[in-house]
Amino acid sequence: MADDRATRSFSQDRQKFVSILSGELMEIPEKSKLGKCRSVIEFEKLNRVGEGTYGIVYCARDTKSNKIVALKKMRMEKEKDGLPISGLREIDILLNIRHENIVEMKEVVVGKSLDSIFLVMEYCEQDLASLLDNMAAPFSESQVKCIMLQLCKGLRYLHENFIIHRDLKVSNLLMTDKGCVKIADFGLARKYGIPTKPMSPKVVTLWYRAPELLFGSKTHTTAIDIWSAGCIFGELLAHKPLLPGRSELHQIELTIQMFGTPNETIWPDFPQLPALEQFTLKQQPYNNIRHTFPWLSEPGIRLLNFLFMYDPLKRASAEDIIESSYFTEPPHPCEPEFMPSFPQHRLKRRQAEENPKEEVKPKLNDSFKDFGSSSSESATKKRKQSL
């Protein structure tokens, strides 16, 4: 009983602010509770489409404009005082960037309680992970070039504006039904300055993590995004993950197996990396890129090697990739509007995960009145389990 009273009291206090003048809790006027934000009740939920690093994503209809949008519900489970810093960073970054190859955030809306926050994003019909999981045949090389050019144009814009994404992977690349590729999920993104400040090396999904992070470097540069872009490039070409490590140690082993053993000659800062004190590396003097992609042209092999340079200072930039001769030789990149479109795959995979034994149609009349109490999925994605 006492616990119930404490819970009710805590819930009521969450609807109050502390007065600057008196230091006491004061009621928030009803008309001011949402500030300048709209209520999430103004959106009609259609279906759940994905889960990002720091939030669950839903497809919804804006009842005022009648437009389809994506609603990302921010995770607040462990927050007692305000928004999580990761959420604030994501909002700050997305509100201040605009590029055709980066998903656009339109506004922030709120639910009934102060810990129910949603980001309103433009809706994209599919993500590359779903396509790769469901396509009968791999993307053609012309289509891969189209995707990579769009990815690198978005990356170039981010890096020119001193932003590192820090979680590039195929599931964070969305595509509209007109073939426009957009970088999404900025939950781990950070702005950086010169000189760079130390950051945690525990970023980027394992399969796409650069070697400097695997070896414990706390210096983050735009080169970590370029390595991830290289892993995406290889995955699109091979129609399977390029370096699917099961642990950090296994990821290092796969990296060395593919690209050879790094040393001080090719990477001057390598001997000073913290993780090297914990184990001895297998010696392999050659890389296997040409063996892995025997059909790829010489410019394509050169580009892959440029993307996977061990030394971050020597690794390609987004601009270098865009200007590569690989994109000017046949087969030429296809135009975005000629990219394949399979929006049903995204919905099919989500339905199968949530209802494995029954056919489910998307709900078209479900409001967000009880949105905050949505239950978790019964099963997680196979891809996310591996990552």
Phi, psi of 159 (to 5 degrees): -70, -35
Is 320 marked active-site?
A: no
Phi, psi of 268 (to 5 degrees): -55, -35
Q: C-alpha 236: how far from its chain's center?
A: 17
Q: Which of 352, 354, 372 is nearest to 45 (CA)?
A: 372
Cα separation, 292 vs 303, whole angstroms: 14
Cα separation, 324 vs 211, whole angstroms: 23
**72 is annotated as contributing to ligand binding:** yes
Q: Out of 127, 167, 185, 225, pick the active-site residue.
A: 167
Q: What is the DSSP string of 106-143?
A: EEEEE-SSTT-EEEEEE--SEEHHHHHHH-SSPPPHHH
The b/e string for 305-340 (b: 16+ C-beta within 10 A; e otherwise) is: ebbbbbebeebbbbeebbebebbeeeeebbebeebe
Cα separation, 356 vs 52, whole angstroms: 22
Q: What angle do CA 186, 191, 194 make, to 5 degrees?
A: 155
Cα separation, 222 vs 242, whole angstroms: 21
Q: How many residues in the chain?
A: 387
CB 161, CB 97: distance < 8 Å = yes
Cα separation, 150 vs 155, whole angstroms: 9
Q: Which of 50, 111, 122 is nearest to 367 (CA)?
A: 111
Which residues are annotated binding-site positions?
72
Which residues are annotated binding-site positions for ATP?
72
Which residues are designated catalytic? 167
